[in-house]
Every structure is written in C-alpha cells, then in structure tokens.
C-alpha cells in the first residue's frame, strides 16, 4: 500500500484560505442583533445569555432567555393566530411560501453572514442551507394544495355511502431544532406545518437563534402573520420540555439521546412526534467505482460543514482491490482542502461550532491513534486559524474498541474499512443501531440501486454523497432505528402535521335492518352483498 501516512507528516498541513476582509462584528452589528432579539418571546427584563462566534471566539449576541411562563405566552399567542390562519384557503397560505422562496434567494447574503457567524461553517456550506430551504419552500408552496385536498374514498356501501377523507391541522406544532443547520432545520420543517394550517412554537439552539429570527422576519415579510411563528430561546433541558408539554405535535431534530426523552414526553401526552436524530453513516466504494468521482464525493460526504451534518459519512467501506488507488486520491484531496473563516466564498471547510464539539473530535482521534489507528490526512486542531478549527481527518486501521468506530463523532473525521464482497460490506454497514443516510459508488447504476435497497437507512445516495436524496424534497427523508421516527419532505413531511378526518354520509337506507327486513334477512342480504362486492373487484 502507498505510504500515505508519511506524506501527511510534518508540514503537510491543510492550506489556509485567504481572509475576506469583513469581520463578524461588521457583518453582524449589535443593531442587527438587537432588532432580531426583539423577535424572541421573552418578558421585559429577561435574563440574557451571550453567544460566541466560533470563527474567532469573540462575543456575538446577547439574547434574552425565555422562561416557562414565556413558553405559555408563546402558545397562547400562537393558538389565537392559528385559528384565523387555518380559515384561510390553502392556496393563500401556500403563496406565502412562494414569496418567501424569492425573498430568500434575493436576500441570501444577509443570512449567509448570520449562519457563518453563528456556526463557523464555510460559506459554501451555509449556501447549502439556502438551497435546501428554497427547495422546500417551492415544493410545499406548489404541492401543498394537492397533498391536503379532500379525497373521495370508497364508502361502506357503494353509492349509498359517500365518504371523503380530509386533513385538518394539528394546531400548534412544538419544534425543537439544533445548531448545525440553523436555517434549514428551523424553516424547512416549519413551512409544511404552516401551509397545513398550523402555528409553530420553535425553540432553536441559543447558539443559532439569530438565523431562525432572521428567517422569521423574512417569512413575515412574505405574508406570514407575525404571531403564527413564536420563537423561544433558553436552556434545552428546561425550555425544551416546556415546548413539548404544550404542543399538539412535536417536530424534533437533534441527538438520539434527547430525542428519546422528547418521544417519551410526547407519548405520555398522546401527541405525535417526528424525530430526526443522529447517524453513523456509511459510504460504500464498490470495485467498479469511478475512483476520481468517488474521492471527490467522499470529500463532500465527510467534510461538508466540518462533518457537523447529520447525514455526513463517518464510515467509509472500500473494496480491497481499489482501496490503495482510492485512498491515494481521497487523501490527496483531503489534504488540499483550504480551511478558513472568511465571510466570503473560497474556503473549503470552516470551523467546528463549540468547544464541546472540538473536545469530542479531539478525543475520538487521539484515542484511536493511541490504540493504533493511522492518520492518512489531518488529525490536528488548527488554533492558528481559529479557536475551534480541526483538520479534515482520515483514519485507517480503526477497530471496534475505539470510540470513533461506533459513536457519532459529528466532526470532520472518517474511518476507512476494506471489504472483499458486497454482502460483507452491506452487513458491516448495517451493523449499527443508526440508520440515517448512506452512499454507494459504482459505474453500474442498476447494481448501485440494488445494493442501496439492502442498506437499512432512510436515504441512500448512489454516486452522490447526500445532496441527491436530501434535495429530492418530494420524497421522504428521515432515519430508521436510532436515527429517528417519521419523515420530513414529501407527503409524509406535511401530512404529519395534520389529523386525518373521515366524513361519511349515508343515504337511502341505514346500515342496519330497515324497510321491514328482520335481523336474519338483513344479515342474509349483507352476506350476499359482500360476496358480490368482492366478485366485482371492490377494494
């Protein structure tokens, strides 16, 4: 095998992208922070908390913290607004999403600055959020009326029973979102809730609340009634449960550990919940893969948003016959990635979001190396660029005993495993309690799709990292196993926010003995009718 490790030693550090000139402080002035913070539902004189810009470590925003009483207020306001909103025609509600789509694309630079300031990610990765959010807005803006329309169903007795299935809004959706995709995960899940006639009480992560608040302002500009989307901010273990305990439906995105807690609370109240949780996603490079494309794809798969992406790849399985050739390409590309924190396009990877993330990444890498894993690229923190930068890292020789093998790192670290047969690759990829996303690379698309169908993940991308499936917003996206419950996108992504209601009206004769029929004759008549209905092909 090529000695990739030697090449990576010493000076082979990732290059630094040129700076942009603009600073976080100038891009996110305190006047903007103060304006956005007024969108938080919190009483006058509330306690505040400072967030920090990950790129530089400087203070970013002082945000009022909502109390449980503020969560009560948020629900009260949301419930009032929801009654009026639900009475508007679906097409009028959908038009707001389409206007939001256009405004978002026009004003994207404002939110790109905010996302970068709050998360530290590279601008290209921040743009992915704009892309995904606009796609969801377009899809539900155009398709919601079809998803929500009344549907004629076969009645209990043909002709005599007229049956219609309708969809009613749940009411107020409690939505809890994480910090890693603050625009996409606050907005894209809220849009179908709104268009289905609901209000939303959203608790974003405090670290990324500005982005959610900005998006709320833009939606209001697009025509959303201001009180329909309430934003509360505060300590997760206190304000999170308060949101869940008042919701008519819960939409949660975050870790599997918190997701379990949320699910238990929702279950105790008999309200539904969709849970978009963690992953330990696998990529399979089959023997016939185009290795240049696979290496390019692996870089995106593993290092987008510095690996702080629920659907990013942390386990990479490569066929033994092409492993050396693939790793040479993948490692070279990874080492060439330019790290940087400029508020402009140009950097290939940005910073981690917090010290907690940096600690986990460092621990996973250091433990693995100490136990014998080889570093094929990266492996080091980069305080010379910013306090929370860590190099994109490829580990080889990872074993079951190492935490990085099975635990979600949620950082720019991928482990390499070799396989001989497809069966072996599929079995090992599936040997995890998670089941969020996976990626298969082959020149034979039919074979790729056949392998994909055997992988136990909610999405599978063939010859793409994650964006093909995630961007297919008309199709469901979500996790199997410990990766979640329910789906966003497509019909499931909007129908989850509705209650099905069946309205059946009976005419001419009741479904009971009538017109002088005694019970026995009624039973005989219906027995004959049932046989006839089956013979005639009724469903």
Please tell me which residue in 276, 391, 422, 464 is annotated as part of the active site: 276
276 is catalytic: yes
Report the SS3 class of residue 448.
helix
Q: To which residue do tokens 């020149």 refer?
A: 443
Q: In whole angstroms, what is the distance from residue 158 CA to residue 156 CA? A: 6
Please tell me which residue in 310, 314, 408, 464 is annotated as part of the active site: 310
**Which is closer to ligand NAD, CB of 245 or CB of 296?**
245
Residue 144, CA atoms < 13 Å, CB-side half-sphere: 28
What is the DSSP code string of 108-176? HHHHHHHHHHHH---HHHHHHHHHHHHHHHHHHHHHHHHHHS-EEE--SSTTTEEEEEEEEE-SEEEEE
For residues 454 to 483, the per-residue mask of contacts with ligand NAD, x marking binding by CB under 6 A and - elsewhere, is: -------------------------x----
Contact 347, 340 (CB under 8 A): yes
Binding-site size, ligand NAD (CB under 6 A): 29
Residue 492 binds ligand NAD, judged by CB under 6 A:
no
For residues 282 to 311, the per-residue mask of contacts with ligand NAD, x marking binding by CB under 6 A and - elsewhere, is: ----------------------------x-
Interaxial angle between packed helices 445-454 and 422-430, expressed in degrees from 0 to 180 and rounded to the nearest 10: 40
Q: In whole angstroms, what is the distance from residue 451 CA to residue 449 CA? A: 5
Residue 201 binds ligand NAD, judged by CB under 6 A:
no
Identify the residue among 118, 189, 205, 422 touching ligand NAD (CB under 6 A). Answer: 205
- Residue of 495, 462, 490 whose CA lies nearest to 478: 490
**Which is closer to ligand NAD, CB of 272 or CB of 484?**
484
Q: Which stretch binds ligand NAD (CB under 6 A): 92-100, 175-183, 364-372, 529-537?
A: 175-183
Residue 180 binds ligand NAD, judged by CB under 6 A:
yes
Q: To which residue do tokens 């090992």 refer?
A: 428
**Which is closer to ligand NAD, CB of 197 or CB of 479?**
479
Alpha-carbon distance values, 508 to 161, 515, 530 (Å):
9, 10, 18
Minimum Å gap between C-beta 371 and ligand NAD is 24
Identify the residue among 33, 37, 436, 451 touching ligand NAD (CB under 6 A). Answer: 436
Identify the residue among 19, 80, 236, 346 touching ligand NAD (CB under 6 A). Answer: 236
Minimum Å gap between C-beta 487 and ligand NAD is 10
For residues 258 to 277, the per-residue mask of contacts with ligand NAD, x marking binding by CB under 6 A and - elsewhere, is: x--xx-------------xx
Taking CB atoms, the residue at the shortest distance from ligand NAD is: 240
Element of type H or E holding 183: helix 182-183
Minimum Å gap between C-beta 204 and ligand NAD is 6
Instruction: Look at strands 281-285 and 313-319 and give their pairing.
Output: parallel
310 is catalytic: yes
Residue 413 binds ligand NAD, judged by CB under 6 A:
no
Residue 203 binds ligand NAD, judged by CB under 6 A:
yes
Report the SS3 class of residue 484.
strand
* Chain centroid offset of residue 449 CA: 23
Contact 221, 55 (CB under 8 A): no
User: Can you give the binding site for ligand NAD, defined by CB under 6 A?
Assistant: 176-181, 185, 203, 205, 236-237, 240-241, 253-255, 258, 261-262, 276-279, 310, 408, 410, 436, 479, 484
Q: Could you list the active site residues?
A: 276, 310
């Amino acid at each position: 095998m090529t000695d990739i490790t030697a090449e990576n030693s010493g000076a082979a550090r990732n290059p630094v992208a040129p700076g942009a000139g603009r600073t976080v402080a100038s891009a996110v002035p305190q006047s903007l922070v103060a304006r956005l913070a007024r969108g938080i539902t919190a009483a006058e004189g509330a306690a505040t908390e400072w967030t920090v810009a990950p790129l530089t470590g400087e203070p970013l925003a002082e945000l009022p913290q909502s109390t449980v009483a503020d969560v009560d207020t948020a629900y009260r306001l949301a419930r009032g607004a929801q009654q009026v909103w639900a009475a508007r025609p679906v097409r009028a509600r959908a038009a707001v999403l389409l206007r939001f789509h256009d405004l978002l694309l026009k004003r994207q630079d404002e939110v790109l600055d905010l996302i970068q300031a709050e998360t530290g990610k590279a601008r290209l990765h921040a743009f992915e959020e704009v892309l995904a959010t606009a796609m969801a807005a377009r899809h539900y803006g155009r398709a919601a009326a079809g998803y929500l329309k009344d549907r004629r169903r076969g009645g209990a007795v043909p002709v005599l029973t007229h049956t219609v299935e309708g969809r009613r809004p749940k009411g107020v959706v409690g939505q809890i979102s994480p910090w890693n995709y603050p625009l996409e995960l606050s907005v894209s899940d809220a849009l179908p809730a709104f268009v289905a006639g609901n209000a939303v009480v959203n608790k974003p992560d405090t670290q990324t609340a500005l982005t959610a608040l900005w998006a709320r302002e833009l939606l209001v500009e697009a025509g959303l009634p201001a009180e329909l989307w309430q934003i509360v901010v505060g300590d997760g273990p206190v304000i999170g449960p308060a949101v869940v305990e008042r919701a008519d439906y819960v939409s949660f995105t975050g870790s599997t550990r918190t997701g379990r807690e949320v699910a238990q609370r929702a279950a105790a109240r008999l309200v539904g919940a969709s849970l978009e949780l963690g992953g330990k996603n696998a990529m399979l490079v089959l023997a016939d893969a185009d290795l240049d494309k696979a290496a390019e794809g692996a870089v995106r798969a593993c290092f987008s948003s510095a690996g702080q992406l629920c659907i990013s790849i942390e386990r990479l399985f490569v066929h033994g016959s092409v492993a050396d050739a693939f790793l040479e390409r993948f490692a070279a590309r990874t080492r060439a990635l330019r790290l940087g924190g400029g508020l402009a396009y140009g950097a290939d990877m940005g910073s981690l979001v917090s010290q907690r993330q940096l600690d986990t990444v460092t621990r996973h890498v250091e433990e693995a190396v100490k136990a014998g894993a080889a570093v094929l690229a990266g492996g080091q923190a980069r305080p010379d660029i910013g306090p929370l930068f860590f190099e994109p890292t490829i580990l080889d020789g990872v074993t079951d005993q190492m935490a990085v093998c099975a635990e979600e790192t949620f950082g720019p670290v991928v482990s390499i495993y070799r396989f001989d047969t497809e069966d072996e690759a599929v079995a090992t990829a599936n040997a995890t309690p998670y089941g969020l996303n996976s990626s298969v690379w082959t020149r034979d698309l039919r074979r790729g799709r056949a392998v994909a169908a055997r992988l136990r993940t909610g999405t599978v991308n063939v010859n793409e990292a994650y964006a093909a499936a995630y961007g297919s917003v008309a199709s469901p996206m979500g996790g199997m196993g410990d990766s979640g419950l329910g789906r966003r996108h497509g019909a499931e992504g909007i129908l989850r926010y509705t209650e099905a209601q069946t309205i059946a009206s009976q005419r001419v004769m009741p479904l009971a003995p009538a017109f002088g029929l005694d019970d026995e004759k009624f039973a005989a008549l219906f027995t004959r009718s049932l046989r006839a209905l089956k013979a005639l092909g009724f469903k």
